[in-house]
């Protein structure tokens, strides 16, 4: 990964071919499929970019012009770009861009998730999961939810200080804070930036409960901090596992850790006394749903003490991107996958309604829920996890106080306990 200082040079499309600029209101269905061309007139566009989850870089929905790759037949066919060091073509470069962190925590009042606050040290994610529900957020930055989401990673280098300021507020009340609720806190950028470690160290210093969700084995790097937090009842780590089939996993999540590596990391944390859980997520009809039981069983064998599952979510631009992925990787299953998704989403590809967006509805969703309940009981993962402690929290001083004026916090009485799941 190229972690050099950000550059202002124009962003490169995956291919130096002709592009077409169109009026976004001209045809609402234009973004759902590439233009139809006579194969004798022009070569087909590449449908897979090695090491990336998607091949499209369509403009974000807030841009005044929508830009797509388009082969009009005037230029001769070009060979694929030569691979760069590391095995990726011209579209494989990743750029780290600074993003001011005026606030650290985001709040939610959703009844579907077990926490009301979260901090994401990165926007965008190099793991490149094609199904990622956070992709549409990149449009707020003027970027594409497609390749830009994987290649333009925004780094909140002031996030630790911003979080300390929020905790220092006299009105702040501690509750379990999720780290990495949208984008993975241990994606490749974390190797050099160490923002997630900084957040964990802050949580340990001021005794704040945290829950982590990751697809990365890099979490083991911070075992020392996590173990100290766990000894105080302040931490829990969840591993998201989509498939145990490494071939399928690489296509769905091209730069995330292999399933076996996640299970080894889970075992390492569990053996060190850090509570770990598994999220079998997302469950994709006719793609990985047959692995639900195997994922839970493998996680239980690796030391997981709790489990959850989530049905595939396709908000906004994620729907067309996932449809493109099906056409490229599993064309023979495409219609069945989409039909089952509509069955579980009330006739649509996505339903954002609270109470249904995570689990779906209808016979297919009900069967998945029943299967999960059975395997969870069989693996003895159905007991409620021990709540994380909030009574140890010590309010920090503002981050502009000189370090020599800081005192090591002691446990404070009172407070209450919360559970991440």
The answer to whether 278 and 321 are in contact (CB under 8 A) is no
Residue 69: per-residue pLDDT: 60
CA 325 to each of CA 27, 31, 68: distance values in angstroms, whole numbers, following the listed order: 22, 14, 16
- What is the C-alpha separation between 389 and 418, in angstroms, rounded? 7
Q: Is the pLDDT of residue 73 over 90?
A: no
How many other CB atoms sit within 10 Å of the CB of residue 73? Answer: 12
What are 176's two structure tokens? 């379990």
Residue 282: cis peptide before it, omega within 30 degrees of 0: yes
pLDDT single digits (tens) 18-64: 223 333 333 333 334 433 434 444 444 447 888 898 988 877 777 77
The answer to whether 230 and 270 are in contact (CB under 8 A) is no
Residue 395: per-residue pLDDT: 95
**Domains of the chain by range and CATH?**
97-378 (3.80.30.30)
pLDDT single digits (tens) 151-172: 999 999 999 999 999 999 999 9
Residue 300: per-residue pLDDT: 98
Residue 140: per-residue pLDDT: 87
pTM to 2 decimals?
0.79
Q: Is the pLDDT of residue 398 over 90?
A: no
Which ranges of 345-389 would DSSP assign to H, the alpha helix? 362-378
Q: Is the pLDDT of residue 81 over 50?
A: no
Residue 277: per-residue pLDDT: 97
* Residues 6+ positions from 171 with CB-CB distance below 8 Å: none
% pLDDT > 90, the chain: 63
Given phi > 0 = left and psi -120 to 50 = alpha, else beta, which region is 391?
A: alpha
């Amino acid at each position: 990964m190229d972690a050099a200082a950000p550059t202002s040079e124009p962003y490169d499309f995956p291919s130096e071919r002709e592009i077409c600029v169109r009026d976004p209101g001209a045809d609402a269905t234009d973004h759902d499929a590439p233009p139809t061309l006579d194969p004798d007139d022009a070569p087909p566009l590449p449908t897979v970019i090695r090491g990336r989850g998607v091949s499209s870089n369509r403009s974000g929905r807030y841009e005044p012009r929508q830009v797509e790759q388009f082969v009009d037949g005037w230029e001769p066919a070009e060979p694929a770009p030569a691979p760069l060091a590391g095995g990726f073509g011209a579209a494989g470069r990743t750029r780290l861009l600074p993003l001011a962190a005026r606030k650290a925590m985001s709040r939610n009042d959703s009844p579907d998730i077990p926490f009301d606050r979260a901090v994401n040290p990165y926007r965008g994610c190099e793991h490149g999961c094609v199904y990622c529900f956070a992709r549409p957020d990149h449009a707020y930055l003027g970027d594409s939810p497609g390749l830009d989401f994987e290649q333009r990673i925004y780094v909140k280098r002031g996030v630790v200080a911003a979080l300390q300021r929020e905790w220092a507020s006299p009105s702040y009340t501690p509750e379990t804070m999720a780290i990495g609720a949208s984008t993975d806190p241990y994606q490749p950028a974390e190797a050099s930036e160490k923002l997630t470690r900084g957040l964990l160290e802050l949580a340990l210093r001021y005794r704040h409960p945290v829950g982590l969700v990751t697809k990365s084995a890099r979490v083991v790097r911070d075992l020392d901090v996590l173990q100290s937090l766990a000894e105080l009842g302040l931490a829990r780590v969840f591993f998201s596992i989509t498939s145990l089939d490494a071939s399928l996993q690489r296509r769905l999540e091209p730069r995330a850790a292999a399933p076996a590596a996640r299970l080894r990391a889970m075992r390492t944390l569990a053996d060190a006394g850090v509570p770990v859980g598994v999220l079998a997520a997302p469950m994709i009809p006719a793609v990985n749903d047959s692995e639900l039981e195997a994922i839970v069983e493998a996680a239980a064998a690796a030391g997981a003490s709790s489990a959850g599952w989530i049905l595939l979510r396709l908000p906004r631009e994620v729907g067309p991107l996932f449809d493109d992925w099906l056409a490229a990787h599993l064309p023979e299953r495409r219609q069945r996958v989409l039909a089952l998704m509509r069955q579980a989403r009330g006739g649509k590809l996505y339903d954002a309604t609270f109470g249904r967006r995570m689990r779906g509805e209808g016979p297919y969703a009900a069967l998945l829920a029943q299967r999960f309940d059975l395997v969870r009981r069989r693996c003895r993962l159905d007991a409620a996890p021990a709540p994380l402690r909030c009574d140890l929290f010590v309010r920090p001083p503002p981050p502009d106080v000189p370090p020599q004026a800081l005192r090591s916090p002691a446990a404070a009485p009172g407070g209450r306990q919360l559970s991440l799941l």
